[in-house]
Amino acid sequence: MRLIFVLVVLLRSSFAAVPSSHRRFFTPEGFIKVDPGGPEDIEVTPDNLLSERLSRNTNPVLTGRGLDSRALSIRLVNNFDNSSVKAYITGLDSGGKVFFALHDGKLIYPDARGSRLPVKVTKEVAISLPAKGESLRITLPSFIRSGRIYFSNDDLQFFVVDRDNGNSLVQPSVTNLRDPNANVSWGFVEFTYIGNLLYANISYVDFVGLVLGMTLVAKDGSTQTTAGLEADAVIKICDDLIKQRKLDNHEWTSLCIADTAGKPIRVLSPGNQHDVDPEIFGSYWKTYVDRVWEKYIARDLIIDTQSKAGIVKCRIVDHKLKCDGHERGLPKPDDKDIWGCNSGPFAISENDNLSHTTIVPRLCAGLVRSTLLLDGGFMQPSLGQTSYYTVNPTNHYSRIVHSYEVDGRGYAFSYDDVNPDNKEDASGVVSSDNVHLLTIHAGGPLSDYSLR
């Protein structure tokens, strides 16, 4: 899912990928404690690096305003008992340059000045939120690509580095226990706003951190809401992972990341934790996959692609799952493949046909939710949410995260949108091409405040 690349400077001229190593400290509950370091401990991964994508016209439109679309109005609400909540807004402007947006809508462009080593962003880019229950309204540029709005209970550190193709912003990492931000509770909303079309998303595919939620109000008065998790969801999730560890003796508590005082501040997905320590769950899925492969030697696994590819019949032939209209058989997935749903047999390339790109999500969802051996599980997808995560082994991270979602929205694994009738919307997305206001709240479910 994600390979970790440690930032190493050789003659101050190149990056090199080397294996990650962490000193590990555990709490009595089995949570992993952070050990925050300095700039020399930064790791650069595909998930925490925002790189410039310069267009031919590298000069950004003044103040980030596009020429053919409206500015974006957002409201940030503090539902957090902590009075020191900060927000940070990052993205790429219309020229592909990395920027921070300030509380007054002005943009700051971090500059590594050619440094091959990460340089700390020293300009004041934090936006201080008001007291609990109060809000701050901000007008953002009319073009933002790969945007994130971070929230944290303390100051976050960002770094910038030159990678030959312009400035790259090094953002906080959830998997690096030595990250300078490791002791801070934080989370973010991802968004893109181009040509008046807003796409914003809250997801738990990678981790659960500081609790966020959002509501989009369109100009016609319609609303879309992703309410987020319960205010103390991180603590509750970790309590449930303690219980699950006692039930099956697997290291579920290692998903919980605690601060230096031992208090849980975030929960990693199994896929992220597997990338850090592949041995932590052992061969968790092997027996289940073996049973699935054995079952579908003698009978069809039927996959409703819910697309033009139609209903596809599959069987195990020569140790591979072979499906009608599919150009290649799928070998057994290993643990990494199942946790991430994007490697091994579940990798998807631009050259794959419709059968492959629709079979993969439904097969991986059936494995993650452990429905392939249930009565009726020969048809995927056919069973509803009440059948998900009911037998072992299963993805207990996803099960537990969903149990604390206020409205059931927010992906807990990559293909959480797979369902029998396309009506059970697990997506944490809000989207509109006619936005009036996007409200994001930090620290708990929506309070009684005006959305308009």
Distance in Å from the first CA to the final CA of the chain: 39
The predicted structure's pLDDT at residue 69 = 72
The predicted structure's pLDDT at residue 448 = 46
Segment 93-101 mean pLDDT: 96
Q: Closest Cα partner for 72 from 452, 442, 435?
A: 435
Residue 7 scores a pLDDT above 70: no
The predicted structure's pLDDT at residue 44 = 81
Question: How many C-beta atoms lie closer than 10 Å to residue 300's C-beta?
Answer: 14
Residue 415 scores a pLDDT above 80: yes
Q: Express each pLDDT in 244-293 by its tens digit.
A: 999 999 999 999 999 999 999 999 999 999 988 999 999 999 999 999 99
Segment 169-180 mean pLDDT: 96
Which residue matches tokens 């931000």? 181
H helices of 249-353, where? 270-276, 286-298, 335-340
Report helix, strand or coil for 76. Answer: strand
Give the CA angle between residues 50, 53, 57 to the nearest 5°. Answer: 140
Identify the structural domains of the chain with CATH numbers, from first to last: 5-232+429-442 (2.60.110.10), 286-392 (3.30.920.50)
Confidence of residue 422 (pLDDT cuts 50, 70, 90): low
What's the rounded Cα separation, in Å, for the pair 364 and 24? 31
Q: Closest Cα partner for 440 from 71, 77, 73?
A: 77
The predicted structure's pLDDT at residue 452 = 44
Segment 105-111 mean pLDDT: 96
- Give the gyration radius of the chain's Cα atoms: 22
Question: Could you tell me how many residues make up the chain?
Answer: 452
Residue 61 scores a pLDDT above 50: no
Q: In Å, what is the CA distance from 21 to each residue of 141, 161, 383, 408, 443?
A: 40, 22, 42, 36, 32
The CB-side HSE value for 109 (13 A sphere, CA atoms) comes to 19
The predicted structure's pLDDT at residue 78 = 94
Peptide bond into 393 cis (omega under 30): yes
The predicted structure's pLDDT at residue 53 = 78
Segment 113-142 mean pLDDT: 95
What's the rounded Cα separation, in Å, for the pair 441 and 225? 11
Q: Express each pLDDT in 367-383 by its tens digit.
A: 999 999 999 999 999 99
- Are β-strands 197-201 and 86-92 bridged in parallel, bridged antiparallel, or unpaired? unpaired
Q: Say what percent of the chain tops pLDDT 70.
A: 89
In this structure, what DSSP letter does residue 63 have? G
The predicted structure's pLDDT at residue 18 = 35
The predicted structure's pLDDT at residue 14 = 36
What's the rounded Cα separation, in Å, for the pair 272 and 339? 9
Segment 238-249 mean pLDDT: 98
What's the rounded Cα separation, in Å, for the pair 306 and 203? 24
Residue 451 scores a pLDDT above 70: no
Question: How many C-beta atoms lie closer than 10 Å to residue 299's C-beta?
Answer: 10
Q: Express each pLDDT in 18-60 by its tens digit.
A: 334 456 899 999 999 999 999 999 988 778 899 987 654 444 4
Segment 201-205 mean pLDDT: 97
Contact 361, 341 (CB under 8 A): yes
Contact 45, 207 (CB under 8 A): no
pTM, full prediction? 0.90
The predicted structure's pLDDT at residue 6 = 37
Segment 168-185 mean pLDDT: 97
Contact 160, 167 (CB under 8 A): yes
Q: In Å, what is the CA distance from 222 to each residue of 71, 324, 416, 426, 441?
A: 19, 43, 25, 20, 19
